[in-house]
Structure 1
Amino acid sequence: MKTALLIDGGYVRACARAAGHQYDNQFIEAFAQKCVSAPPEYLFRVFYYDAPQFRGTRNLPVSGNPTNFQSSDNWLKELAKLERFAVRRGSLGFRGWRPRNLPLQGGAPLTDADFEPIFEQKGVDMRIGLDIATFSERRSVDRVVLVSGDTDMIPAMKHARKAGIEVVLIQLPQPALRLHDDLQAHADVVRLIAWP
């Protein structure tokens, strides 16, 4: 059964780190192997969706001093070189600052260290949905294995199933949250996997 594996990298990274795993390309490759059941599944390709970390200068919330966010996207370039991997890039936007601890401690004056940046990933869900729609229209795969906890995937999942493509949804192990009922309702199979 020709199978495409679609991984929402931001979702998996957050769950893997919460479980105490180091998240790197070796982990991602081992994780992908855990998601596919062979045979009867033949892994056509792993589509990995993520955003490179934010780069740019922003003013700190208290002092107003500029701070520079630096990062490298070399890990995504290296991931794309792995056998059967395709990387789809979204973007990461800066959305301001939030307190590290709530409620704020009274009495002591606030400092920049009391705040952390807020970043928002953009474009990943759209790319996943478009790829699922393309598979559905072209009938280029028999099965889609999806790793995402986002209910925004439901329209794409429904579209794939109407086109006759099986949809397998991956349930990550603890401490990941249980998948939303609506996501499960639009999957043919929910597959529980273990961390690599």
Structure 2
Amino acid sequence: MKKVAILMDGGYTRVIVRKAGKTYNPDYIERLAQAAVISQEMNAFDAEEVLRVLYYDCPPFNGKVKLPVSGEFKEFKDSGAWLDDLAERNLFAVRRGILKFRGFVPKTVPVAPATLKDADFKPDFEQKGVDMRIGLDIATYGDARTVDRLIVFTADTDCIPAFKRARKCGLQVVLADLPGGSVIGELRQHVDFVRSVTLP
């Protein structure tokens, strides 16, 4: 029985799941994590036991910003209570980054300046601190050797140095390949397995 930790990049998984037309919430995230694990029934020789599921995401942005055309203020307000719900689930831990507002960008290009309205723009947000937290946790598991294998949901090549570190420490790294996602070749070179995970 292999002991595993699952690390899920919320920004990445959310895009894939919503693109597939599914509802993204704590129940679904929990089922998605379970779908990535090899059960005793599937393969008794290589079965996996989950030590912990680490979920990385940012609470929603809260604040007032000026709209790009009218100059009026728009307020973003969301509690992000779903992250608290997820953190209370068995075996789950939530690592929170920060969501930064970077301004507004056109919904379509090219734009027609004479007819622009506020509705022609969408807010541009950037996650900060998520990649660093993923890397730190991978390094910690590598040093502590509390698991045999890491199952990682990401498409971010910034994780490659952490993957290298984990493998040097003797851990196996599994990259979760979701339908509609794209597993970059460079990532494939620095993991032990690429595992196709069916969306529940």
1:121 equivalent in structure 2: 127
Q: Within 1, Cα distance between the matches of 2:109 and 2:149?
A: 45
TM alignment of 1:32-47, pairs within 5 A: 32-39=33-40, 40-47=47-54
What number of residue pairs does the alignment pair up? Answer: 193
Which residue type is aligned with residue 113 of structure 1?
Answer: A
Query: What CA deviation, in whole Å up to 9, does each residue of 1:137-168 have, x standing for no partner?
Result: 11111110000000001000000000000000
Query: What CA deviation, in whole Å up to 9, does each residue of 1:58-103 have, x standing for no partner?
Result: 1111111111001111100000111110000011000011111111
Q: Within 2, Cα distance between the matches of 1:17 and 1:74?
A: 19
SS at 1:117 equivalent: strand
Q: Within 1, Cα distance between the matches of 2:85 and 2:154?
A: 22
88, 92, 95: which one pairs with 2:95? 88
Q: Within 1, Cα distance between the matches of 2:53 and 2:27?
A: 14
Is 1:5 aligned to 2:6, yes or no? yes
Which residue type is aligned with residue 76 of structure 2?
Answer: F
Is 1:105 aligned to 2:112, yes or no? yes
Query: What CA deviation, in whole Å up to 9, does each residue of 1:16-70 have, x standing for no partner?
Result: 1111111011110110100111232110000000001110011111111111001
Is 1:176 aligned to 2:181, yes or no? yes
Is 1:194 aligned to 2:174, yes or no? no
Q: So what's the TM-score if we normalise by structure 1?
A: 0.96
1:15 equivalent in structure 2: 16
Cα RMSD (Å) of the superposition? Answer: 1.0
What is the deviation of 1:128?
0.4
Q: Within 1, Cα distance between the matches of 2:189 and 2:39?
A: 25
SS at 2:33 equivalent: helix
1:63 equivalent in structure 2: 70
1:164 equivalent in structure 2: 170
SS at 1:131 equivalent: helix
What is the deviation of 1:109?
2.5
Q: Within 2, Cα distance between the matches of 1:21 and 1:176?
A: 15
SS at 1:62 equivalent: coil
What is the deviation of 1:188?
0.4
Q: Within 2, Cα distance between the matches of 1:55 and 1:127?
A: 22
Gaps of 5+ in 1: none
Runs (4+) of structure 1 exceeding 4 A deviation are none
What is the deviation of 1:193?
1.1
Q: So what's the TM-score if we normalise by structure 2?
A: 0.94
Gaps of 5+ in 2: 41-46
